[in-house]
């Protein structure tokens, strides 16, 4: 019989854009919870990943990267979403790149001064640190910046030292009953996940600034004996962007559709029929009304 008290709590995963927060969440969960691209600001929403064990339940909160340039309403919403996650956290994982400290990292650390939760500094991308002796210097420098509860080097992409990090997280969670059902993995719906996968493929395919001016909305999601049928709208901000997103002869959109279908088929285990349309909604990313309509969280 297990006499250990059950523990449960929220762990906010924060940091500047593109440090590997979503990659870490996906590594922990052993599956894709959040989309990942090499481009900053890929994560735009607060996404919960629920990791349940016999003695504890950890609710990881994947957040948008905290960034300085928050001119548009969407960017302000993203910053507020990340800040709100800190307010509710029992533990904070502050993710940085092991071989790079920037002024944006310093900005995030300044925000963390106001949180009462313990903070673990997670030095990610250690596989890129050469020579390895440099890692010791990075750890020492990080320890000197703040009185962190722990300083942990990992590589989420290579799944190196992540188990060690997971071994210490439960000890920081409060005694509490589970907050979510045992079989729950994320709070996000299948329609949200489908829209995000399509947006991921678009972001990877588009080299210009277009990914920052588009979003995806699933208008129909139906599952029957033949598989899953999805109708999705790709919203862009200007008519001039339509040709870039569609591509010559519709080539880019077909490429994106095929990549999204293959991933969704592998995820669902059934055939997927995907239809996509590109539509213009002027300046949607700078309109709170339109953002709320598209599923973004209010600041």
Q: What is the pLDDT of residues 256-296, one digit of tens each?
A: 999 999 999 999 999 999 999 999 999 898 999 999 898 88
| Mean predicted lDDT score pLDDT of the chain | 92
Percentage of the chain surpassing pLDDT 70? 96
Q: Is 161 helix (H, G, I), strand (E, B) or coil?
A: coil
**What is the rounded distance in angstroms from the CA atom of residue 182 to the CA atom of residue 190?**
18
What domains are there in the chain, each with its CATH number? 7-172 (3.40.50.300), 190-293 (3.30.300.20)
pTM of the complete model beyond 0.85: yes
Residue 296 confidence (pLDDT): 84
| Residue 273 CB neighbour total at 10 angstroms | 12
Mean pLDDT of 26-43: 89
**What is the rounded distance in angstroms from the CA atom of residue 42 to the CA atom of residue 249?**
27
Residue 192 confidence (pLDDT): 94
**What is the rounded distance in angstroms from the CA atom of residue 225 to the CA atom of residue 290?**
35
Mean pLDDT comparison of 33-37, 132-136, 153-157, highest-scoring range: 153-157
Residue 78 confidence (pLDDT): 83
Q: What angle do CA 130, 96, 124 make, to 5 degrees?
A: 50
Quickly tell me which residue has 């990313």 as its tokens. Answer: 285
Task: Write the CB contacts of 215 (distance below 8 Å, at least 6 apart in sequence).
Answer: 44, 199, 234, 235, 284, 285, 294
Position 153 pLDDT exceeds 80: yes
Q: Is 65 helix (H, G, I), strand (E, B) or coil?
A: coil
Sign of the alpha-carbon torsion through 226, 190, 202, 123: negative
**What is the rounded distance in angstroms from the CA atom of residue 129 to the CA atom of residue 292?**
41
Residue 83 confidence (pLDDT): 80
**Residue of 96, 64, 95, 93 whose CA lies nearest to 80:** 64
Residue 68 confidence (pLDDT): 64
Average the pLDDT over each of 26-40, 50-64, 74-88, 275-289 and give the range with the smallest value: 74-88
Residue 70 confidence (pLDDT): 62
Residue 11 confidence (pLDDT): 97
The answer to whether 156 touches 124, Cβ cutoff 8 Å, is: yes
Could you give the dihedral angle defined by the CA atoms of residues 195, 196, 202 and 205, in that order, rounded to the nearest 10 degrees?
-150
Higher-confidence position of 202 and 76? 202
Sign of the alpha-carbon torsion through 126, 129, 135, 140: negative
75 confidence band (pLDDT: 50, 70, 90):
confident
The helix-helix angle for 103-112 and 73-87 (nearest 10°) equals: 50
Position 1 pLDDT exceeds 70: no
Pair of tokens at residue 13 = 């995963």
Tell me, rounded to whole angstroms, the distance of Cα 152 from its chain centroid.
20
**Residue of 6, 7, 43 whose CA lies nearest to 23:** 43
Residue 207 confidence (pLDDT): 77
Pair of tokens at residue 75 = 């960017």
Residue 45 confidence (pLDDT): 86
Average the pLDDT over each of 112-116, 139-143, 162-166 and give the range with the smallest value: 112-116
């Amino acid at each position: 019989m297990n006499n250990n008290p059950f523990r449960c709590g929220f762990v906010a995963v924060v940091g500047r854009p593109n440090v590997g927060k979503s990659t870490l969440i996906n590594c922990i969960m052993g599956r894709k919870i959040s989309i990942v691209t090499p481009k900053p600001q890929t994560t735009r929403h607060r996404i919960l990943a629920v990791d349940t064990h016999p003695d504890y339940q950890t609710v990881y909160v994947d957040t948008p990267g905290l960034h300085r340039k928050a001119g548009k309403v969407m960017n302000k919403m993203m910053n507020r979403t990340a800040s709100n996650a800190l307010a509710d956290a029992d533990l904070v994982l502050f993710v940085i790149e092991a071989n790079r400290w920037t002024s944006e990292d310093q900005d995030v650390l300044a925000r963390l001064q106001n949180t009462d939760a313990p903070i673990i500094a997670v030095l990610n991308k250690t596989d890129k640190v050469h020579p390895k002796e440099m890692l010791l210097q990075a750890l020492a420098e990080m320890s000197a910046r703040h009185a962190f509860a722990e300083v942990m080097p990992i590589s989420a992409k290579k799944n190196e030292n992540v188990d060690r990090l997971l071994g210490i997280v439960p000890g920081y969670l409060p005694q509490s009953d589970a907050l979510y059902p045992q079989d729950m993995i994320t709070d996000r719906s299948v329609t949200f996940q489908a829209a995000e996968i399509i947006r991921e493929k678009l972001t990877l395919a588009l080299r210009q600034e277009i990914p920052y001016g588009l979003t995806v909305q699933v208008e129909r999601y139906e599952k029957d004996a033949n598989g899953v049928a999805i109708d999705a709208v790709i919203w862009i901000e200007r008519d001039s962007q339509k040709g870039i997103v569609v591509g010559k002869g519709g080539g880019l959109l077909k490429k994106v559709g095929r990549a999204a279908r293959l991933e969704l088929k592998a995820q669902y285990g059934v055939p997927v029929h995907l239809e996509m349309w590109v539509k213009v909604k002027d300046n949607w990313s700078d309109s709170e009304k339109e953002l709320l309509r598209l599923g973004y969280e209010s600041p």
